[in-house]
Amino acid sequence: WRSIPPFRQIGNILKEKFDGAIEVIVSKNQKRRRLEPVNSNYKFRTDSDLVFLEPSPDFCTADYSIGSMGTKGRICNKTSSGTDSCDTMCCGRGFATKVFTRRERCKCSF
């Protein structure tokens, strides 16, 4: 009986592959096209390595031509280590902390 691994395990493997993805160029070698690493220090380890032809755009800065509004002015989570963290969202620009107090009426009975 074969089953799919837990979703978290699949996600971790994909993230590891994404972090180790290799930038490549298409080279024509003796009438055949091949993918070769841009940086000759990198070598393909397996047939399942992830590769990319162009680096991802800089989502920190607004670029309306690709639909990116940038991250300036967005709310970040100071205690998070994920994609909503201030380290990630603020792209090294720093951030200001604001504390808000909100009063609400409740329908409590004591």
- Domain boundary assignment for the chain: 1-56, 57-94
Distance separating alpha carbons of residues 33 and 50, to the nearest angstrom = 18
pLDDT of residue 8: 95
Based on the number of CB atoms within 10 Å of its own CB, is 36 exposed (0-12), middle (13-18) or buried (19 or more)? middle
Q: How far apart are the first and last CA of the chain?
A: 57
Residue bearing tokens 């690709």? 66
One digit per residue, the tens of pLDDT, for the chain of length 110 reads 789 999 999 999 999 999 889 999 988 877 788 888 888 888 777 888 899 999 888 888 899 998 889 888 888 888 998 888 988 888 888 888 888 898 888 888 77
Specify the pLDDT at position 14. 93
Task: Please give the Cα distance from 24 to 34 (Å, whole number).
Answer: 9
| Amino acid code (one letter) for 31 | K
Question: What phi and psi, each to the nearest 5 degrees, are found at residue 13?
Answer: -65, -45
